[in-house]
Amino acid sequence: MTDVARHASELLRLHHTGQTLVLPTVWDVWSARAVVDAGFPALSVGSHPLADSRGQQDNEGMSLADALDGIRRITAAVDVPVTADLESGYDTPAAELVERGLEVGVAGVNIEDTVHSQGRLREVREHADYIGALRAAADQAGVELVINARTDAFIGQVATFDDPLAEALTRLRACEQAGARCVYPVRVPDADTLRALLDGLSGPVNVTAHPVDGAPSGSFEELRSLGVQRITFGPLLQKALTAKVTELVAPWR
């Protein structure tokens, strides 16, 4: 627990240095070691690339045990803070989720408001209450777990809104008040919307970017100039490598 607490505190500190924190998204020990060898002080584990690496489906096609097995292998292989996507929590009570996450060495967690087992979005207070229960469990354990509260308000798959920006702000503000250390609006449609989110929220905001060209969110320089505090790649790094591997092996057919 000492190492987990140390890594969580360091991950929290990295969110508040005044510099944009980039947490390359990995899926196995090989990719994690490559990121650390490249000089990054922390990394993220994405549920989508992790599921793909296991031959399973994203959106909780893995069990919690499956996800934690993959995460544990990564945290055991690198001595940097690791934040992991635990989707909507796999229908697991908050205290249990925190306990099991800390057992495998996570310094932070992504928790989204889409409940995949029920095909619905949590209500605003329902999601904030879950985030608050995670915060309370982590605090009880003495770990500054970096909870990254995600909303899918912009996705429009299981729920649609007349004003997705207003909905996202309402949801993420409630999560900040509940104890989230970072918030994550997925699929922000344009730079103006991103600016409104950055202006309307009080803590760090996580943005997904492509590692090659930044699309759809913007280049590293553009996101940094806007004041984005945290960048992850989601499944986009793995997808970019897929294209590169195909390019490398195709001449050998």
At 17-47, the pLDDT tens digits run: 999 999 999 999 999 999 999 999 999 999 9
Domains of the chain: 2-241 (3.20.20.60)
Angstrom CA distances, 197 to 92, 179, 194, 202, 233, stand at 29, 18, 5, 10, 19
247 — pLDDT class (breaks 50, 70, 90): very high
pLDDT digits (tens, 9 = 90+) for 136-158: 999 999 999 999 999 999 999 89
Angstrom CA distances, 196 to 17, 95, 162, stand at 22, 33, 17
Percent of the chain with pLDDT over 90: 97
Element (H, E) at 116: none
* pTM of this structure: 0.96
* CA–CA gap between residue 229 and residue 243 (Å, rounded): 29
